[in-house]
Structures are given as structure tokens and as C-alpha cells.
Amino acid sequence: MAETDRTVNVGLIGLGTVGGGVAKVMARHRDEYRSAYGIDVRIKRACALEEERARELGFEGDAFTQNWQDIVSDPDIDIVVELIGGEHPATEIFEGALGSGKHVVSANKALLGRHVERLAGIAAEHGVQIRCEASAGGGIPIVNALEHALVGNEVLTVAGILNGTTNYILSRMDAEGLDFAEVLADAQRLGYAEADPTADVDGFDAASKVAILSSIAFHTRVTTDDVFMEGIRDVSAADIAEARSMGYVVKLLGIARNTADGVDVRVHPTMLPADHMLAGVNGAMNAVYVVGDAVGETMFYGAGAGSFPTASAVVGDILALADAISHNDHVQAEIKPFGRVLPLKSIEDLSTKYYIRLAVEDRVGALAPVVDVFARHQISISQISQLADADEGRCSVVFLTHKASERDVAAARTELESLDVVERVASVIRIEDVEAWSEGAEANE
């Protein structure tokens, strides 16, 4: 048995899906952590509103409180685990815990996506750490990889499937040819989507996660509000089928690139080559692609949500801190963020290929004014095809562009919408240039 100097006390705030998982995983493995690593760690006290839930998880008497201040003010507690989510009182919990010299472990992407700079500053000032492995990618050890194993690299790109609900929906739309609304309803029935699905399907959740990951990867300030965001509501079964026929798969990606023109960070439906590793990630699974200048292309795959997978990440963070504390080693303070503040690149300056589907009148000459609009906006077309889904007198026409600027495409879109022959611009989906993710990688030299 490995040696230990003292017991590490954890205060757990929140006993919901993730908090319950953390309590169970730590109870089940406590002896093993002691024997294998010499880490003696226990949850001294848990905080939740429901006493019944706490009792089921083994927290009674002194080990239970309904008041988070009891945890933050407990001088015996070394690590506060915040798993209630949202901005309040999570902010106050962070401030109280860090201010009294306790490390904080959290899965709170909404809070960290917006306020990590200020909170990390408080942690640095008080000589403690914030750890947030579970806040991006659930159980996938991506934060740890960026902060440690890949730290010798200049990270060029972080891009991933960061939301399980939307990946589940897109995967089923692809496999079964169903439309968005149908699959969403089914996903809600099965518990894969919330009753109010906005945070997932409109991209907010993925935007928080890509903000956290790009801040860490590029050592620069990226907040959720900096992320360009577009959800999957407008993606249709027809687009997905057409994408397949052209060798592409549609995924909701969070993409962050450290380019010469600034940090390019965005969440939107993306067409990816069907043989790309991310294209094979289906169902509710998540995956994060990281390109470093030395390591080249890497990918990290796993469950992005769920009780036990997320608990795995939280417990990993707890044990990293507990390892040092239980051996009376110094735990390094949070590094004051950020090493640098890089400019952000506007979505308008994005240059990529586009898939554009128009519902147009089905008559001779209808395409002429459309093609003219593209030409006047410097958008070069590589392929035009008519889809089989035509109604009488109407048809869908898909245009693939060569690389074009987002600004030009947006202007062209407005003009197309005003044309008599165009009923509507049914969809505009960016085709991601995955080769560009590796630009500057030494591994490719």
C-alpha cells in the first residue's frame, strides 16, 4: 500500500446527475485510490436541496447541508466541487471557496465560458486552482491533454463534436432520412434532448465548450460571447442526403483556429469529408480534434455527458489535487490568465467553400439571374445540381462554391432572396477545409 500523509476533505455542492455520479464513483473506489496511489480522499460534506436524495447517496447528519455556505466556510474542506451549474449561486460559491483558499473543481461551462478570466485571477491571487475537465467534452480527458501532455505544442486547431444531443439528432437524420423536427421530438421522448432544447440545438452549449477549450489551447481570452454560433434547426434530411452523395457528412462542430488573421472561433453545421475521423463519431458521443505544431493531428473520443462519464472527469480533477494535498506537496496556484490576448477573427472574414440550396421556379432560364448574383459577388461555383425533391413548378437546386468569403456569401444571399425566381434560400452550410486545420504543423514538414 502506498503511503499517505493525511485525509483530503472534499465538499460536494450539487447532487444531481453528475454530483450523484461523483458520490458513487468516489465511494466505490476509495480503497483503491488509497492502495494504488496513497491518496486518502473523502467527501466530508455534501450540499443539496433534497434531503432524501442526499440520504440515498449516504450523506446524513453532519455530512449533509442545504446551505452551500456551510461547505465554503468549513476550514477542514480542501476542495469544493461545484456541480449545480448556472451563474448563481455558482459564482458566489467560486468566489467564496477560492477566497478562503480552497481549490474548486467544476463542470460549469456556462459560468467558465464567460468568466474564467476573472475567476482564475481570484484563484491565482489566493494560491489555489480551478479545475474544469468536465466542463468541455464530459468524460473525454481533453483539458488535461491540452494543459499537460500536449503543452510542448503550439496548438493550431481545436475542433470537435461537443454536444451529444445535436450529434444524436444529426446521426439519426442521416441514418434514417428523417427531418429535424421528427428526430427532435423522438429525442425528447427518449431523454436525449431537453423539453427546452435551445441550449443544445442552437449551439449555446457547444459555444461555451469551444470558448473554454480555445482559451486553454491558445492561452488567450475567448468567451462564449466571442463565438459565432448557428444551430442545426435549418438542416434538412435533403441536405444530409445530398451531402452524403457528394462524399460529405453534416456535423455540428465547434471550431477554433489560431490563424495569422486572428483566432477564428465558431459553432455551426459543417460538411466534413465522410472519411474524416470526426465524421465517424455517431449518436450521443463527442470527440475533439486537436492539431498541434509538433504532434500533428490527434483526436479524443468519448461520452460528452451522462452521470458516470462526467463524474470520471470530475473525480480525475479531485484526485489530481488530492494527490498533492495528501502527500503534503505544494499545489501550484492557477496561472493568471492569459499569457497573451490574441485578436479575434470576425466570421465575415471566413473564407471557405459553401453548400447553398435554393428553392427556385422550375422553368427555363430560372438559373440565369441566380448565377449572375453569384458572379457579381465574386463567388465561383464548382457544381450545380438539381435535387429530386421537386414539387410542381418548384425545384431545389444545390450550388457548391469554390472558396468564397462569408461577407460575399451573406450579401449574395440577401440578393438571392429578393429574386423573383427564388422562392427561398433553403440552406447555406459551410464546407470545412479540414486540410487547413494542419497548416503550420511541423509533423507535416
CB nearer its own copies, residue 237 or residue 308: 308
Contact 359, 423 (CB under 8 A): yes
Residue 19 is a binding residue for its own copies (CB under 8 A): no
Tell me phi and psi for residue 5, to 5 degrees. Answer: -95, -35
Per CB under 8 A, 140 contacts its own copies: yes
C-alpha distances in Å from residue 21, one per residue of 208, 301, 308 = 23, 20, 5
State the nearest-atom distance from the C-beta of 135 to its own copies, in Å: 13
User: Among residues 196 and 275, whose Cβ is nearest to its own copies?
Assistant: 275
Q: 282 with 164: CB under 8 angstroms?
A: no
Nearest to 11 by CA among 89, 85, 91, 94: 94
344 binds its own copies (CB under 8 A): no
Site stretch for its own copies (CB under 8 A), options 27-35, 186-194, 365-373, 397-405: 27-35
Strands (DSSP E) contained in 215-320 are 228-229, 248-259, 262-273, 285-292, 296-303
Secondary structure element (H or E) that encloses residue 98, with its range: helix 90-99
Q: Given candidates 108, 312, 396, 427, which one binds its own copies under the rule CB under 8 A?
A: 312
Using CB under 8 A, which of 108, 153, 166, 396 touches its own copies? 153
For residues 358-373, one letter each, b for 16 or more C-beta atoms within 10 angstroms of the residue's C-beta and e for the rest, the string is bbbbbeeebbeebeeb
User: How far is residue 414's CA from residue 379's CA, in Å, rounded to a whole number?
Assistant: 14
Q: Nearest-CA neighbor of 282 among 252, 245, 241, 243?
A: 252
Contact flag: residue 332 with its own copies (CB under 8 A): yes
Nearest residue (CB) to its own copies, 8 versus 72: 8
**Count, residues near its own copies per rule CB under 8 A:** 70
Asked if residues 182 and 233 have their Cβ atoms less than 8 Å apart, the reply is no
Closest contact distance (angstroms) between CB of 44 and its own copies is 18
Strand order, beta sheet including 79-82: 64-65, 41-47, 8-13, 79-82, 103-106, 130-131
Q: Which is nearer to its own copies, 12 or 373 (CB)?
A: 12
In the complex, minimum distance from the CB of residue 396 to its own copies, in angstroms, rounded to a whole number = 30
Give the Cα separation of 270 and 160 in Å (integer).
11
**Stretch of residues binding its own copies (CB under 8 A), selected from 33-41, 197-205, 207-215, 388-396:** 33-41
For its own copies, give the closer residue by CB, 295 or 366.
295
58: contact with its own copies by CB under 8 A: no
Per CB under 8 A, 25 contacts its own copies: yes
In sequence order, which residues have a C-beta less than 8 Å from that of residue 106 and are 6 or more positions away?
Answer: 81, 82, 83, 90, 94, 112, 130, 131, 132, 134, 135
Window 234-293: residues binding its own copies (CB under 8 A):
275, 277, 280-281, 292-293
Could you say which residues in the range 395-434 bind its own copies, by CB under 8 A? none
Q: Which range binds its own copies by CB under 8 A, 85-93, 161-169, 251-259, 327-335?
A: 327-335
Does 215 engage in binding with its own copies (CB under 8 A)?
no
Active site residue 345: no
Q: Smallest Cα–Cα separation from 209: which of 184, 196, 227?
A: 227
Neighbours of 128 (CB within 10 A): 24
The C-alpha atoms of residue 445 and residue 442 are separated, in whole angstroms, by 5
Stretch that binds its own copies, among 95-103, 205-213, 318-326, 396-404 (CB under 8 A): 318-326
- Applying CB under 8 A, among 29, 42, 233, 403 the residue interacting with its own copies is 29
The distance of closest approach from Cβ of residue 104 to its own copies in the complex, given in angstroms and rounded to an integer, is 17
Does residue 6 belong to the site contacting its own copies (CB under 8 A)?
A: no
Q: How many angstroms separate the CA atoms of 63 and 54, rounded?
A: 9
Q: Which of 44, 102, 209, 345 is labelled catalytic?
A: 209
Residue 303 near its own copies by CB under 8 A:
yes
Chain contacts with its own copies (rule: CB under 8 A):
1-2, 21, 24-26, 29, 32-33, 35-38, 133, 139-141, 143-145, 148-154, 219, 275, 277, 280-281, 292-303, 306, 308-309, 311-316, 318-320, 323-324, 327, 329-330, 332, 335-336, 339-340, 441-443, 445
Catalytic residues: 209
